[in-house]
Structure 1
Amino acid sequence: MGKLYLVPTPIGNLEDMTFRAVKVLKEVDLILAEDTRTSGKLLQHFEITTPMHSHHMHNEHKTVDGIVARLQSGEIIALISDAGTPAISDPGFLLTRACVEYNIPVECLPGATAFVPALVNSGLPNDKFVFEGFLPVKKGRQTRLKQLAEEPRTIIFYESPHKLIKTLGNFVTYFGAERSISVSRELTKLYEETVRGTAQKVLEHYIEKPPKGEIVIIVEGKK
């Protein structure tokens, strides 16, 4: 029986790659990568020559059975995403679930994930929180926002820069203009930025200064 490793990769700064992650990626038989071009640069930087196959949201339903068969035959395989920890708003859940079902050992290494530093540096309560990831684009969005408006715990969202203004506007509408929020973008990178304030004030900030880069939004729960 083989083993599946879930290996976090840096969300921006390559110095956040752990020694253990590099060691595992060098020793496994195969690396499954969300985008082999993106991951190829990472592997080259750390002089990792392990063979790599593509495993992403568009093909994971088709490839899981084949990967499970390889694991059952004794191969040791690592799964990485483009950035951060696999299965956190990235591919990984389906394969992990299949491995658990077939009693294949699974080990997830600790490492980079975007929402943890965004939550901790937000200044909002972090003893209890809910992770929402990306909101529905169309169907179910309004319903979900109405439900979350009553959530008492701190709420974590991921968002793309071109949808941030719309989402902040939704927060003003459904959560209230005075709800405290924190927006972190480009975490660990050269132009890392966190903007804190009321939903209305943060919305006005990004209307004046359109955002770039990956974004994490932390929203205060209902008091």
Structure 2
Amino acid sequence: MSHYPVVPASHYAAAPTMEYAGVRLEQLTQSHAPDLAEVVSAGSLHEAWFATTPSAQQMESNIAQRLAWQAAGTMAPFAIIDTSTGRAVGATTYLNIDAAHRRVEIGSTFLAVSAQGTGINPAAKHLLLRRAFDDLGCYSVAFCTHWHNEASRAAIARLGAKQDGVLRNHKYDPVTGTLRDTVVFSILPHEWPAVRTQLESRLRRHGRIN
């Protein structure tokens, strides 16, 4: 493992500005709340029972919670910016950060319905994975989703992530009174070059890179 970069633990929870293929990831702040509230309202994203997307009314408190987790070193929260408009079209994070074992999870992501299928999501994933493997030297990047979120499971598999397994009765949702089975996927360092090539191929099809 000596070829991996030596990175201070505090870097894992940092959210530096990164830009690629018409997408910019930047530190999430309360200044993004109006755009993100509009995003979730326009697409009714918060109504999916198997997801935890905040409503427009919850957006400011949700951002505050993400920033608190960042201060605790367990999350790096980003706003997803469409550089053609300069507006936030979604949010994403590294969460459940385990710097000691060089592991992060990519999740707590939501994206405007109007931005879906445009290449913005693969560009954001390219940026997050590139930082995780090339800058932070992660040994593993995880993706977790609800068993019933079939669209999310398909999207994660399309990235090239491998399914590790299913955590049965993993979480209880007091709002719906249901237990969640969590599907766990991961990408490992030796898989990153192929995943990167696949993402870049998708971005070419969307006309985001040459």
> Scaled by the length of structure 2, what TM-score is found?
0.30
**Higher share in strand:** 2
Higher relative contact order (CA 8 A, sep 6+): 1
> Scaled by the length of structure 1, what TM-score is found?
0.29
